[in-house]
Amino acid sequence: MRMRPTLSWTPDADLPPGTTDPAPVAEALRAGRVLVLSGAGMSTESGIPDYRGEGGSLSRHTPMTYQDFTGSPQARRRYWARSHLGWRTFGRARPNAGHRSVAAFGRDGLLTGLITQNVDGLHQAAGSEDAVELHGSLSRVVCLSCGALSRRRELALRLEEANAGFSPVAAGINPDGDADLSDEQVGDFRVVPCTVCGGVLKPDVVFFGEAVPPQRVEHCRALVREAASLLVLGSSLTVMSGLRFVRQAAREGKPVLIVNRDPTRGDREAVTRVALPLGAALTTVADRLGVPVQDVQDPAPA
């Protein structure tokens, strides 16, 4: 079943105010059994913009939908041209202090799991193990005909060969790795087919208008049931794919804590929202808990 894309949400005027005190987050982590749910705001300090925050990408572009991608060869050409160029920048992003802090909490046994709405692989690059990629990963490509999976790095090489000299200057990069290019810049970019069956290739991510696989949703629901509390990091919770887990935790009487500078659609279910930059807030929490945060030099998985 396909969902209608939810691109925007307007906060109510009477939402609970945020706080600048991260103490409740530290206390929840000290108690243990915390499940983390992260969103695009987690990666802004790595140079990847979010969708809806200040300067978010939705202010200048509309993300590709599943319906457009599958229904139009021209839309696929435009997507792969923009995504191919964006991948060069996206693949160079490095984990920031927030990613490193989450990985440290996991190593210290404070977490029961990690669900990320991001497709950038930065949690894994920071050392977080068993992260559930709710919306998939840009590091993989899937064939819509035969289901064959391949590495994005391999596709990038094939696209380079098919489009020698393609190097337009993009106006910006978006959370899904899509670079801002005009139709003129896209030009006659050549899309390559699946090497197994010749079918249409798609990044192994959940597009707007596409449903998260039911088995993945149920796995995440089980993680919520097993946790003592839910910690949301850098998500406006505008889309139901993440908001449903907040509502589930609230129904089950489990504290929901949010670290996000702007109001979120889940604020009414939360016991607190810490309105601080993620890197600074989580580093402060790690210091208070005496959890060592390791630096990361390796690039994100590609």
**pLDDT tens for each residue of 209-246:** 899 999 999 999 999 999 999 999 999 999 899 999 99
Residue among 84, 99, 123, 135 flagged as catalytic? 135
> Is 135 an active-site residue?
yes
- In which band, very low, low, confident or very high, does the pLDDT at 7 lie, cut at 50, 70 and 90? low
- Please report the pLDDT score of residue 16 as a whole number: 80
CATH at residue 147: 3.40.50.1220
| 109 burial level (CB within 10 Å; 0-12, 13-18, 19+) | exposed
Structure confidence at residue 61 (pLDDT):
56
Query: Could you tell me the residue range of the domain that residue 80 belongs to?
Result: 23-289
Does residue 4 lie in a domain region? no
The total number of structural domains that make up the chain: 1
pLDDT of residue 54: 53
The per-residue pLDDT for 180 is 81
Q: Is residue 299 part of a domain?
A: no
Asked whether residue 147 is domain-assigned, the answer is: yes
More confident residue, 60 or 107: 107
Position 172 pLDDT exceeds 90: no
**Binding-site residue set:** 39-59, 117-120, 143, 146, 194, 197, 234-236, 278
Rounded mean pLDDT, 49-75: 73
What angle, rounded to 10 degrees, do the helices at 240-251 and 214-226 form?
30
Q: Determine the pLDDT at residue 298.
A: 52
Residue 3 inside a domain? The answer is no
Higher pLDDT, 69 or 12: 69
Name the most confidently modeled range: 234-243, 251-260, 288-297: 251-260
Q: How do residues 110-159 score in pLDDT, each as one tens digit?
A: 999 999 999 999 999 999 999 999 999 999 999 999 999 999 999 999 99
> Does 139 reside within a domain?
yes
HSE-CB for 81 with a 13 A CA cutoff: 25
Confidence of residue 199 (pLDDT cuts 50, 70, 90): very high
Higher pLDDT, 125 or 174: 125
* Contact between residue 113 and residue 249 where contact means Cβ atoms under 8 Å apart: no
Please check the confidence at residue 57 and state whether its pLDDT lies above 70. no
Residues tagged in the binding site annotation for NAD(+): 39-59, 117-120, 234-236, 278
Tell whether 161 is covered by a domain. Answer: yes
Do 231 and 257 meet the contact criterion of CB atoms below 8 Å apart?
A: yes
Q: What are phi and psi of 87, to 5 degrees?
A: -60, -35
**95 inside domain:** yes
Give the number of residues written for the chain.
302
- Tell me what percent of the residues of the chain surpass a pLDDT of 70: 89
Element (H, E) at 81: helix 73-90
Q: What is the pTM of this model?
A: 0.89
Helix (H, G, I), strand (E, B) or coil at 149: strand
Model confidence at 45: pLDDT above 50 = yes
| 12 domain-assigned | no
